[in-house]
Structure 1
C-alpha cells in the first residue's frame, strides 16, 4: 500500500509530518513530487529528518519533464518514478505521420536522454517505476497507436527495452487512467505482452484522478479490484481528492482479502477441475483488451425489458427490511411520470429509480409489497420466490432458487409465470458452480423453459470471498457453449452483519465494486441488485454510482479530479467542492478539475470542460481539448465555470433547434427548462 504527499516539497517540515502520518497509518511506500532541481535537492533534507526520527519508509521521487531532477533524486531516494510520456517529450497534441526511420530516430533520442538515469539507478541500487499515464502519452505514440491501451503498452515497452539493454531490471510498471475500463484493459494487455517477451516485472495499480467521496472510492475499487481479482498487482495506490491519509484505509481494505488468501493454501473446487468448458469458451465470453457486452436475447419482466441493447437495470431487495410505504414511494417511479416539467419545479431523478422490487417472502411479503405500491400509486415489477406467488393476479417475476431445484419445481414456476403473464428467474449461487451441479441444472432449465415462457438467470455472488469472479466467468462460458443467451442478473450479497463488517474495515462497497465492476467492465451482466442488511435507498444509490464508475450508465455529472500533490498551487479539495456545487446538476456532462498540467489536458481528453492549475492560484479553462481561457485568477475562473451550465445545455441541442431557443437558454442561466 502506498500514497503520495500533497504538501509543498520545499516545505520540509510539512512533508516530513505528512510522511510520518502516512507511515503510522500503515502506508508502506511514500511518493513525493520533485518537479524541479530544487525540490529534488530538498529530498535529501526530508530523508535526513525522517531518518533522524527513525522513520525508514521507502521514498519515491515523482518526476515529470525534468531528467536532471531524476538524476539528483536517484542519489537520495529508494525509487524514482518517471513518466515515459513526458520524460523526454513535451505534449504538443501534434498530428503527423512518422516514417519508420523517423520513429526510430525518436527512440534513439529518448534513449540518449534516459540512459544516464538507468545507469545511475543501477549503480546506486535504486528502483524505478515506469509509470505510464493514459492522459500524457507522447505525440509519437498517439500518432502511431492512438489514445488506446495498445499505445500505453508500447510506451512502457519502449522504456523497458532501454533499461534491459543496460542490464537494469529493478523496475515496477504502472498503466494508469481515469477511466477504469481503459486502465483494466491496459494492464491486462501489458501482462500478456510481457509474458510473450519473458518479462516478469511487478505492477503498481491505480486509477488516476478518481475523485473524492464514495464516487472516488468506487471508481478506484472497480479498476484496482478487478485486476487484483485477475491476479495482477503488487502495489496499489487509491488516488483521492482528499488528504492523503484517507487513502490508506481504503487501500488496506481493498487488498485485505487478497493478502489473506496469499497466506494460505486453497483447494481447487471440484466444479472448477471438471468444468465442461474450454479455453475457447472463455475467449467467447471475455475480450480482455476491449469492451464487448455479452449478446443476449431481451428479457421481459412485467413492464420492464432488460438485456439485449437495454441499459444495465437496477433493482432493490426488500427481503431484509421493514420498509414504510412512503419509502417505497420514493424509490420507484410513479404511474404516468412524464419526462417534462414545469419551469422551476423540482424534478425527481427518473433514471435513478429502482426498476423492480424483489421480496423474499419474509419480513416483507408479496401481498404487502403489492398493496403498498397500489396505495401509493407507484409502478414497478415485483419479484418473489415461487412458493409465495400462488394466487397472484398480476404479472410476477417468479424467483426459482436452484440450489435444490428439480424438474417438478421448475415446471411449477413455469406454470405460475404463464398464469400471470410473468417471468421466471432461475437463481443460482456460486457455491453450486464450485460444486459442479450448476451445469446440469442449466441443461434442465434449457429443456423445460426455453420455448415455454420468458426467463433469465440470477446469480448470487457472496461478498468478501476470493475466486467468485472466476466462477462467474466459467458459468457464463458454459452458457455460451450450450447456446443459452438469456439475460443475467448479478445479486451481490453483503456478508454477515453490516455493522460488524464495516467495523472490521471490510467495507462491502469496495468488494462489491471489485467483483461487480470486474464483470460489468467485461460486458457481463444485464441487471444488478444489492441484497443484505442495508437500507434500500443506500443500495440504490450505490448501484447507480457503480454503473457511473464503469461508464455503463451515466446518471449524474461525471467529475475527474486529481488527488493533488506538491505541484498543485491552489486548494484542490475546496475548489473541487465549489465547482461540484455549481455544476453537479449537469447530468451526463464530464468535468475535469486538475491541479497541474502534468496529466491535465490528456486525462480530460473525453471531458466536456476542464479546470487546470497553471500557476500560483492561476488556472486555465478548457472546452474539450481546446484551451479557451489561459492563466486567469482562480476566483475569476470559478465564476466563468458557472457558464458551463448554459454551454452544456446548448451543446446538447440538436442541429435543427432554432437559435431563439439557444438564446432563451442562455438568458435563463441557472434555470432548467425542457
Structure 2
C-alpha cells in the first residue's frame, strides 16, 4: 500500500516526511519490540527501505512521542542505525503534544535541545496548545544558539569558544545514550536531607539578599521554603554567600533566628577557602561551596583543600567543590589550558584529597558549555570508579525567556542522560519563578512529578472542541494529581496514537462528543461534552488515582 505513494511523490518531485508515532506502531512491531524507541526506529527503517528500493530519497524523518526521554532515545538510536546502513536523511525534531505555557516550552526545550546538543536535527517544531503564532518565537529561541554555532564554524575568523575541548581523547562514557540509567553516586546528607544515590534530584536556590540584612534574608528563606499552598513546590536547600568576617557574624545570628523560629531548612554557604580557614568558629551550615586558590603551588593547594575538608569533617558538613575556568590550578592550566581535561584533572585531584577526611564531597561546574563539561567530568569520574555526587548549575542567565529555555536545555539534557543529583538555576528571575522552572525541568525529564502531566495537542482543522479552553479547564480541576498523566486530544485521527504515555485520555469523537480512554483503551464513547469533565473525574477515582485538592 505504501509503494504507490512513493512512486507518486517521486514522479512529482515532492518531499515526504516519515513520522513514527510512539503510540500507533503496527501489531507486528509491537509483538517484537513493544512501544519502545527500538520499535519506533524499526518501523521507520521499514518505510525507508521501501523508499530506497524505488530510488526515492527526498525524505525527512520524525520520531513522535510526548515523553521527551522516549523521543531523545528514539532519535539517537535512529541516527546510529542509519549510520550503520549508510543513510543520511535529515531529521525533524519535536516533542509531540507538549502542552501549553511554561510546561510545554520546557518539555520541548528538554527534548529538542538534548538532540541539538548532540548535533542531531535539521528542522524543529515546538508543539503548543496555544495560538500557533506562539510556537514560532519558542522554536527560534531554542534554535538560535545552535545556528550561531553553525555559522561560527563556517567562518574562518570565528571567535574562539571560551572553553576549548581537550587535545586528548575523551574518556569512555558510562552513560547509555539509548536508555535512561542514572549515574551511580554516593548518598550523602545535607543536614537532614538525603541527596545522591537513589534519592530524588534535589532543588537548591541562592538567596539574593545579602547576609548582613538578617530580617530580609529570613523573609526570603521563608518565601523559598514555605509553600503558599499545599501543592506548591519549594526550594530544598538555600544557598547563602559570605565574603567577609562580618558576613560570618551575621550568619551566626541568622542561624540563631532560624532555630528560634523552628525553621529547619538546610543551608549551604558559598565561601572563599582562606576565609573559612581563618574563621574563629566554623559556620554552622549543611554544605560549604568553595575551592582552593588557583595560584597556590600544588603542595599548598592540596593542603588548603585538606584544611577545608578537616573543618567540614569536624561538624559533618558536606563540601561542594565548585569548579570553573578561574579555579583551575595554575600548574594544571599550564599543562592542559582551559579545557575539559583541565577541569576533570582538577576534579580528580580534589577527589584524591577526600579519603583522608570525614567530610562527604560533591562537585559542580560553572561554564558556558555545561552539557559538554558535565558529561566529560562524569565520564572521567566513572572511569576512576569515583561515585561523587554532581550538583548541576547553569551559567548566569538573564530574563524570563533566556532562563526558561537555556536552563531547560542545559539541566534537562544532563538529567535525561542520568547525570545530576541536585540542580540550581543562576538567574535574575524572581525566586518563585526559578523554583517553578526547576520542578518543571525535573518533571519533563520524568524524575520528579510535582503536578499532573498534561499531554495536549496543538489543534488543527479536525479539532472537535476548543482545545485551549478545555486544557485550561481540566488543568484547573486536576493539576494537583502529581502521579497522573492526562491526554487531551482534539480528534480520534491522531489522538490515540500520540498519547501512548498517558494514563487517561479525553478525546474528541464528534461534534459535542467526547470519548474517554484508560491507557490506549477507549472505555466510554460519545459522552456529551457538558458531562465529560465529571465523567473523567469519576474514571480517575474508579482507578484509584484521584485525591481531593488540599
2:363 pairs with 1:454: no
Alpha-carbon spacing, 1:383–1:452, altered in 2? closer, same or farther (3 Å) = same
1:297 matched residue in structure 2? 186
- Cα deviation, residue 398, structure 1: 1.3
* Offset of residue 257 of structure 1: 0.3
Unaligned regions of 5+ residues in structure 1, if any?
A: 1-112, 335-345, 653-664
User: Where does residue 355 of structure 1 map in the other structure?
Assistant: 236
Counterpart of 1:439 in structure 2 is 344
1: CA distance, partners of 2:68 / 2:195: 24
Q: Report what 2:520 is aligned to.
A: 625
Residue 326 in 1 paired to residue 219 in 2? yes
CA-CA distance at 1:408 after TM superposition: 3.0
Q: Aligned with 1:359: secondary structure?
A: strand
The superposition leaves residues 349-370 of structure 1 with CA deviations (integer Å, 9 ceiling, x where unpaired) of 48x2221111122698644653
Cα displacement (A) at 1:412: 2.4
SS at match of 2:344: helix
Distance in 1 of aligned mates of 2:252 and 2:394: 25
Moved over 4 A (4+): 266-271, 319-324, 362-365, 430-433
The Cα shift of 1:540 comes to 1.2
Q: Distance in 2 between matches of 1:239 and 1:651?
A: 28
CA shift, 1:651, in A, is 4.7
The structural deviation recorded for 1:584 is: 1.4
Match of 1:24 in 2: none
**Matched position secondary structure for 1:373:** helix
Task: Decide which of 201, 210, 223 is 1:312's aligned counterpart.
Answer: 201
Structure 1 pair 397/275, CA: closer, same or farther in 2 (3 Å)? farther
Q: After the TM superposition, which residues 47-58 of structure 1 pair with which residues of structure 2 at under 5 Å, given as runs?
A: none
Alpha-carbon shift at residue 539 of structure 1 (Å): 1.4
Q: How does 1:225-240 map to 2 (within 5 A)?
A: 225-240=113-128
What is the CA distance between 1:269 and its match in structure 2?
7.9
CA contact (8 A) 2:207 2:238 kept: yes
Is 1:255 paired with 2:137?
A: no
Query: Is 1:126 equivalent to 2:11 in the alignment?
Result: no
Query: What is the alpha-carbon distance in structure 2 between the residues aligned to residue 455 and residue 275 of structure 1?
Result: 30
Higher relative CO (Cα under 8 Å, sequence separation at least 6) belongs to: 2
Matched, 1:287 2:176: yes
* 2:262 equivalent to 1:377: yes
TM-score, normalised relative to structure 1: 0.72
For the structure 1 residues 585 and 651, does the alpha-carbon distance in structure 2 shift closer, same or farther, using more than 3 Å as the test? Answer: closer
Q: Name the counterpart of 1:148.
A: 36
1:610-649 equivalence runs, <5 A: 610-644=505-539, 646-647=541-542
Distance change (3 Å), C-alpha of 1:626 and 1:115? closer
Tell me the equivalent position of 2:335: none
Aligned-pair CA distance for 1:175 = 0.5
Cross-structure match for 1:207: 95
CA contact (8 A) 2:180 2:417 kept: yes
Normalised to the residue count of structure 2, the TM-score between the two structures is: 0.88
Q: Which moved more, 1:584-593 or 1:637-646?
A: 637-646
Aligned residue in 1 for 2:443: 548
Pick from 250, 274, 279: which aligns with 2:167? 274
Q: Secondary structure at the match of 1:631?
A: strand
Distance in 2 between residues matched to 1:639 and 1:403, nearest whole Å? 63
Please tell me whether residue 559 in structure 1 is matched to residue 454 in structure 2.
yes
Gapped runs of 5+ residues in structure 2? 329-337
Evaluate the alpha carbon distance shift between residue 128 and residue 393 of structure 1 in structure 2; reply closer, same or farther with a 3 A threshold.
closer
Tell me which of 356, 381, 384 is aligned to 1:482.
Answer: 384
